[in-house]
A and B are shown apart, each in its own frame.
Chain A
């Protein structure tokens, strides 16, 4: 296993602390024994093949996943605690906004739940570049626009931790670029981001990469570390190398 990339953070700077997490879904043990610590202000990429447990891990972090064992702490409290609900933003993999409401009606509703008003709503719509569509029904937007509405809801209220499940899927390169710029500026401001992705070239934009394979930590490294450890030229290839090595182990 690759070595830990981030410097060991002080307890006060730990945003997410996962210890020996075990999750069973149906009859399948999705995460057998998972541990991970995320410090403040990092953009952490969560990578892994389909079905490796990325969504399950994120659900555990936001506190909607039934867990069979271990601990998940967020900002010093057990994941899912009431005090965390306005400090953690979650974007699900499927677009989870109301398709029969307009963009601004959707944001107004979620803003009201967080105790935020009109200015925050307009500001957040701007951030995901949907101001032109504020009055449109979400059901009539394109796929990429819809997923940006879903992202906007997660951004409401500037949460300290953002858990984003494949936020850039289906977006064109220009838009992807601008969203990653947004993620970067949020991290610079102290937000911690846990972002899952299938697109390996996005991995190079993260501070840290967490690679999952069948619910186990395959590597916890940096983009540069990933390349040097595997001797690969790009992230795609590096992943295949690690994958082959891990396959050889079992």
Chain B
């Protein structure tokens, strides 16, 4: 792995995105539309958006970045460019970190746009720091990207890659504490949710939105970041130069 090859890869992926402004538009606008929809639904009960807003701020980027990343990397597999890359001096780490870096940049942009939208347009009120919340949203979007990278190495077709969404993301959404407090769930599910990265992403967002101190939020932030790195390493380990 070298910085030159990693950055060349990240730059190449950003160039591909630049040639596809429509997708960038969708990535930026879609979460805002969804957030706007929720705000509109609960127009008469602003306390609902205040309660769920911070969580949605976390969940939408994870969703969108997961999909975008898994489909893009799978395209690299099916088009044969990955096979060709594997015959060049690129390292497996260069490839995955290159993807993670470029999508992190995109994710950061998306998280900032969505946070601003939630604040100024949807009227989301939080007790804590907006900068902190936007930071968590960025971290979680990167988590979504790395989950997408890892699961696309399991998928063989683009259709399967899209199907990874209900397999990897939806169960986490159900048990991560968004639907009901984790302590109210059956014991087995609570233990399962301990192993789901989204759980910590959500808790970090809630802590910060509620005005909790950094001391309170940092274990959750560290766990979210830890999961992100672990998933990326798993992606590097499962990437194969030789295939059948």
Nearest chain B CB to A249 CB, angstrom units = 30
Interface residue range, chain B: 20 to 34
Rounded to whole angstroms, the CA-CA distance of A217 and B11 in the bound complex is: 44
Choose, from B52-60, B62-70, B81-89, B125-133, the stretch at the interface.
Answer: B81-89
Q: Which of A24, A26, A66, A105 is within 8 Å of B12, CB to CB? A: A105
Measured in the bound complex, the distance between the Cα atoms of B148 and A113 in whole Å is: 24
A100 lies within 8 A of B16 (CB): yes
Could you tell me if A64 and B242 are in contact, using CB atoms closer than 8 angstroms? Answer: yes
CA distance A100 to B88 in the complex (A): 20
Q: Are B15 and A90 in contact (CB under 8 A)?
A: no
Shortest Cβ gap from B175 to chain A (Å): 38
From residue 10 to 69 of chain B, which have CB atoms closer than 8 A to chain A? 11-12, 15-16, 19-20
A80, CB-defined interface residue at 8 Å: yes
Name B86's closest neighbour in chain A (CB-CB): A64
Say whether A97 faces chain B, with CB atoms less than 8 Å apart: yes
Interface pair B88/A110, CB less than 8 Å apart = yes
A96 within 8 A of B: yes
If the complex has contacts A109-B8, A113-B89, are A101 and B83 also in contact, measured as CB distance less than 8 A? no
* A63 surroundings in chain B (CB, below 8 A): 87, 241-242
A90 and B84 CA atoms in complex are apart in Å by 7
A173 contacts across to B, CB distance below 8 A? none
User: Which residues on B sit within 8 Å (CB–CB) of A26?
Assistant: 244
A96 touching B79 by the CB < 8 A rule? yes
A70 to chain B, nearest CB (A): 14
The 8 Å CB contact of A90, one of B5, B19, B87, B243, is B87
Q: Which residues of B contact A24 (CB under 8 A)?
A: 244
- Contact of A96 with B80 at beta-carbon distance under 8 Å, contacts A63-B242, A80-B242 already known: yes
Task: Convert B89-127 into 0s and 1s, putting 1 for each residue whose CB lies closer than 8 angstroms to a CB of A.
Answer: 110000000000000000000000000000000000000
- Find chain B residues with CB under 8 A from A110 CB: 88
> Would you call B5 and A98 a contact (CB within 8 A)?
no
Contact A80 to B241, CB < 8 A, known contacts A112-B4, A113-B88, A114-B88: yes
On whether the beta carbons of B89 and A86 are closer than 8 Å, the reply is yes
Q: Is the CB of A65 within 8 A of B243?
A: yes
Distance A98 CA – B88 CA, assembled complex (angstroms)? 15
Closest to A88 in B: B87
Judge whether A94 is part of the interface by a CB distance below 8 angstroms.
yes
Closest to B8 in A: A112
Rounded to whole angstroms, the CA-CA distance of A48 and B169 in the bound complex is 47
Q: How far is the CA of A59 from the CA of B240 in the complex (A)?
A: 14
In the complex, how many angstroms separate the beta carbon of B69 from the nearest chain A beta carbon? 16
Q: When the two chains form their complex, are residues B5 and A113 in contact, meaning their CB atoms are under 8 A apart?
A: yes
The 8 Å CB contact of B4, one of A25, A88, A95, A115, is: A115
Q: Report the minimal beta-carbon distance from A230 to chain B, rounded to whole angstroms.
A: 36
Residues of chain B with a CB closer than 8 A to A90's CB: 84, 87
Complex-state Cα separation, A95 to B81, whole angstroms: 8
Known contacts A64-B83, A114-B88; is A137 also within 8 Å of B243 by CB? no
Q: Are B244 and A66 in contact (CB under 8 A)?
A: yes
Interface string of B142-170 (1 = CB under 8 A from A): 00000000000000000000000000000
Residue A92 interfacial (CB < 8 Å): yes
Q: Are A62 and B87 in contact (CB under 8 A)?
A: yes
**Chain B min CB distance to A13 (Å):** 23
Closest to B82 in A: A96
CB of B194 to closest CB in A, whole Å: 38
Cα(A97)–Cα(B76), bound, Å: 9
- Is residue A20 within 8 Å, beta carbon to beta carbon, of the partner chain? no
* Closest B residue to A111 using CB positions: B8
Complex: A26 Cα to B49 Cα, angstroms: 53
Given contact pairs A86-B89, A109-B8, A113-B88, A137 touches B241 in the complex (Cβ within 8 A)? no
Contacts A101-B12, A101-B19, A105-B15 aside, 5 further interface pairs with beta carbons under 8 A come to A25-B244, A63-B87, A65-B243, A94-B80, A98-B79
29 cross-chain CB contacts under 8 A = A24-B244, A59-B83, A63-B241, A64-B87, A64-B242, A65-B243, A65-B244, A66-B243, A82-B89, A85-B87, A85-B89, A86-B88, A86-B89, A88-B87, A92-B80, A96-B79, A96-B84, A97-B81, A98-B81, A101-B16, A101-B19, A105-B15, A109-B8, A109-B9, A110-B88, A112-B8, A113-B89, A113-B90, A114-B88
Which residue numbers of A lie inside 8 Å of B, CB to CB? 24-26, 59, 62-66, 80, 82, 85-86, 88, 90, 92, 94-101, 105, 109-110, 112-115, 137, 153
